[in-house]
Amino acid sequence: MEHTFKHLVVDSSVLFKNTEFINDCDCIYVTDEIVREIKDSKSKNRLGNIPHNWIVRNPLVKTIEKVKLFTLKIGENKALSEADISIISLTLDLEYEFGEPEKIKLDLKQINSYDEESPKNKLPGFYLNPNDNDWISPKNTKQVPTFTLNLTDQNINVVCATSDFAIQNTCLHLGLNVISPSGKIIKELRKFIYVCSCCQRFASFFYIRICDDKTRKFCFYCGYDSLKKTSYIIND
């Protein structure tokens, strides 16, 4: 099924790869942060030769703050630059303005509930003694929170185009539409888990308290400094 996009937010990778589908969009948006990333003459010419007006628009400050907090909750904050945050935030602003605000997911309730239940006076790995229900296993994988994106309409009002996995992942978590530089709609959601290289146990990011990265490295089960962050994919 071919889709048409009305309001398209692009990052520099889309311009670098000289994608053709942007010619069919009603409005193309870039932020000042993205413009500053475009330094080579070829990409500048590409931006100047788009056959209709493109718009330089920056997201609201309050939206940027919301997105930064959200990326911290889902574990993508270290992978995103200020330019990346700017296009995610702008896509969110446009979704509120032209799209479907009701599908936006800014509240991850499962994170808050885990934080509230976590002991505040014990160090994970040495004193915490969780039961096996706190770990993802073949028996409880269906209980792990999942996120899906439903794109059934041919005409999509607002979409973000990028090749960056962290941007794609954040947009999907937020309920925003996202496509690759080739124009392919992204439906796979990457989630993160921590795998212990010693005991081979693995836990969802959401079971590890939101704290400084330097303290998030001890296995909840065996206590060793051996947790490695990795990703897995959820699709529909």
Residue 92 and residue 21 share a domain: yes
CATH number, position 177: 3.40.50.1010
H helices of the chain, in order, are 12-16, 32-37, 41-48, 61-74, 82-98, 109-117, 165-174
Interval 193-230: pLDDT, tens: 667 777 766 554 444 433 334 345 667 667 767 767 66
Residue 21 and residue 64 share a domain: yes
Residue 85 and residue 57 share a domain: yes
Residue 160 and residue 51 share a domain: yes
Residue 228 and residue 166 share a domain: no
Residue 39 and residue 92 share a domain: yes
Q: Which of 155, 153, 133 is nearest to 143 (CA)?
A: 133
Residue 47 has pLDDT above 50, yes or no: yes
Within-domain flag for 18: yes
- Where on the phi/psi map is residue 85: left (φ > 0), alpha (ψ -120 to 50), or beta? alpha
Within-domain flag for 150: no
Within-domain flag for 98: yes
Residue 13 and residue 58 share a domain: yes
Q: Which domain holds residue 169?
A: 1-109+156-185
Within-domain flag for 142: no
Q: Report how many domains make up the chain.
A: 2
Residue 185 has pLDDT above 70, yes or no: yes
Residue 149 has pLDDT above 90, yes or no: no
Residue 231 and residue 165 share a domain: no
Q: Which of 222, 43, 203 is nearest to 137 (CA)?
A: 203
Residue 230 and residue 200 share a domain: yes
Within-domain flag for 117: no
- The tokens for 84 are 């990346």
Residue 72 and residue 23 share a domain: yes
CA atoms of 172 and 139, how far apart (whole Å): 26
Within-domain flag for 86: yes
Residue 60 and residue 89 share a domain: yes
Interval 123-139: pLDDT, tens: 444 444 444 444 544 45
Residue 195 and residue 78 share a domain: no
Within-domain flag for 131: no
Q: What is the mean pLDDT of the chain?
A: 73
pTM: 0.65
Within-domain flag for 132: no
- Band the pLDDT of 73: cuts 50, 70, 90: confident
